[in-house]
Amino acid sequence: MEIWQEINELREKIEYHNKLYYEDDAPEISDFEFDALLKRLEELERKYPLFASPRSPTVRVGGRSRADFSKVTHRFPMQSLTDVFSDEELVSFLKRLETEAGIIEYVTERKIDGLSVALEYEDGLLNRASTRGDGIVGEDVTLNIRSISSIPAELSVKLPYLEVRGEVYMRDEVFARLNERQEVLGEKVFANPRNAAAGSLRQLDPSITAQRELDIFIFNVQGAEGITFRTHTESLEWLARQGFPVSPGYRICTGIYEVLKAVREIGEERGNIDHGIDGAVIKVNSLSLRDELGTTSKVPRWAVAYKYPPEQKETVVEEILVQVGRTGKLTPLAKLAPVRIAGSTVARATLHNEDFVAEKDIRAGDTVVIQKAGDIIPEVVRVIEEKRKEGAGPFLMPSFCPECGAPVIRENNEAASRCTGSQCPAQKFRHLVHFVSKDAMNIDGLGPSILETLLDNGLITGVADIYTLAQKRDELIKLPGFKEKSAENLLKSVEDSKSNSLERLITALGIRNIGVRAAEELARAFDSVDEIMTASMEQLLALPDFGEVSALAVKSFFEQEQTSELIEALRAAGVNMTSRIKESRKSDVLTGKTFVLTGTLSGMTRDEASSVIKSHGGKVSGSVSKKTDFVLAGEDAGSKLDKANALGVKVIGPEEFMEMIRGQQG
């Protein structure tokens, strides 16, 4: 019974991590840890065949295809590979082959750490691209694949049909730039280049994929009509002549000794190449011998993947520093005694957050074991406690921001601590991007790239400087990408934003936990910024949907000196500071009523419907609950309509809604 319990737990763990890796592109454990789980399950299922199951993750490949993309049934199954983790296991695998076939010619290749795809060409033209999925059914990613410049759209040899398999990957330099940008914009930071590549290829908007600078290596001909090959290397040479970037650094090896030598050489190279690899692949070179050896339901019998364990080294944590990211997140950082690992010298390692530091009990002066996660990112594996110096105290996150001195907060549902300073230098870019965004001041023409240009050239240093750009018109026109007309359009958009409603300004200030709806409540309850700044906790708590967290966030934000300085700078620039919600109120007919909008509304957009509701005293919510009074539903209404029906919430259409308004007006 204990064996059955372990098998069940392993299957559940593997399914869980499989989904995170293949479908969500958000792994929680390393490839090496995942492979160890899978290997243990395979061992138990071999030893106890009574507990084998056709639904076990050991007999399936990868993850399920996502619902966002149309499904592709592969003409040729995209199989996985048998993994081995030591020279002994590799030798054992190769000896079994040579017992059947004698001395064999092999090809060794780098195992690129990316997302596996199939490319199909008809009459020399790229017709379709798909992900591996579960090996039988994948996702159609043709539009996104076309954005990868290294993939030929047309071949010089017009075969009736050709299918090749490759690995889409992201270079380390591109990965570092992408994560830096994601951090700046307050968006998802990727765990490693493999998941960044997978997440980028599976974007619903191909233009986003195009921005991610993906690459590909082709490593196999899956099938072809009109041409035959004798060996794998012959097919790779032909693919290269057709313009495909083929698997680099492959070697032809005869016999087991040469294979072991090549595997060691690939292992030594992995720290010096510009992309991630997670092992070496050893394949039989002869294609006719491959056919004789055959395949199982999951893996070919003629190939194996050798997985390298992460290289680990000892070093000393000289100091624990705290960095403030551009979203205000405080991240502990270990300053290390420099040590060479996986091809480069490491002197720092991220410690993620204070929970991570506490869990591993990392202290300044500790001797630690480090490795590179995915051979890229240095991480602390464990502390060698017996080498700890006497008197070393535990790490404590600072209470005040090391960059600007504002209070640091950590909310109950977050692992991260954050700076609350509105003008914190470390958060400058993120504040600028948010300030000009559509829901905030809505300054057209001031996207992230333009803001970067203005910052880099010293035309702005913070949000208040946006309103001084008119005085720098001549300098603006000289910047890359600017002409007289574009500069005039930008300056007009900046000028127009000065008259925005108060709720837009409150949203733009970026107060933590205060979104668009909470900003509207503040502008509805108070006549000006000045009244909000002097509001008591009791007044704030009395607002609809305001709890202690929201009230405290507003109170502490406006009590900071840097907030007062920013407000005065914006006031001096002519930015509106007063509420106009009461002036724009047409009636009170919907006062106290909460609406949820769903589907495509005839005769009006959702934004227009929201404005009408608010102008008659009503509220708009994003989700249906028992507190919802009406669901305004148009065509193609989705799950919100279903939930409304289940809860007994009244559902109305656009005509009934307008009758409700007109009846009161008439």
Nearest of 109, 110, 131 to residue 62 by alpha carbon = 131
Dihedral sign of CA atoms 472, 474, 475, 480 in order: positive
C-alpha separations of 498 from 232, 492, 493, 502 in Å:
66, 10, 9, 10
Q: Dig out the tokens for 299 from the structure.
A: 């893996």
Residue 187 has, within 13 A of its CA and on its CB side, a CA count of 11
Q: Dig out the tokens for 363 from the structure.
A: 């202290």
Catalytic residue, from 47, 95, 111, 372: name it: 111
Which residues lie below 8 Å from residue 565, measured CB to CB, with a gap of 6+? 423
> What does DSSP say about strands 344-350 and 215-225: parallel, antiparallel, or unpaired?
unpaired
Phi, psi of 307 (to 5 degrees): -100, 125
C-alpha separations of 406 from 399, 418, 530, 564, 576 in Å:
9, 10, 21, 13, 26
Nearest of 552, 422, 620, 577 to residue 539 by alpha carbon = 552
Q: Dig out the tokens for 435 from the structure.
A: 């300030």
Q: Dig out the tokens for 55 from the structure.
A: 């639904």
DSSP secondary structure of 283-321: EESBHHHHHHH-B-SSSBTTEEEEPPPPPEEEEEEEEEE
Residue with tokens 């490491």: 346
Q: Dig out the tokens for 123 from the structure.
A: 């009459």
C-alpha separations of 245 from 127, 225, 242, 623 in Å:
18, 21, 9, 48
The identity of residue 267, as a single letter, is G
Contact 656, 609 (CB under 8 A): no
Distance between CA atoms of 47 and 6, rounded to whole angstroms? 13
Distance between CA atoms of 117 and 69, rounded to whole angstroms? 14
C-alpha separations of 396 from 324, 334, 344, 354 in Å:
15, 13, 30, 8
DSSP secondary structure of 34-56: HHHHHHHHHHHHHH-GGG--TTS
Q: Kindly give the interhelix angle for 172-184 and 193-201, rounded to the nearest 10 degrees.
A: 70
Distance between CA atoms of 119 and 554, rounded to whole angstroms? 53
The identity of residue 589, as a single letter, is V
Catalytic status, residue 335: no
C-alpha separations of 368 from 30, 300, 316, 338, 380 in Å:
19, 41, 6, 12, 7
Residue with tokens 């750009």: 469
Distance between CA atoms of 235 and 276, rounded to whole angstroms? 24
As beta bridge partners, residue 578 has 528
Q: Dig out the tokens for 430 from the structure.
A: 């993120």
Dihedral sign of CA atoms 390, 391, 396, 402 in order: negative
**Catalytic residue list:** 111
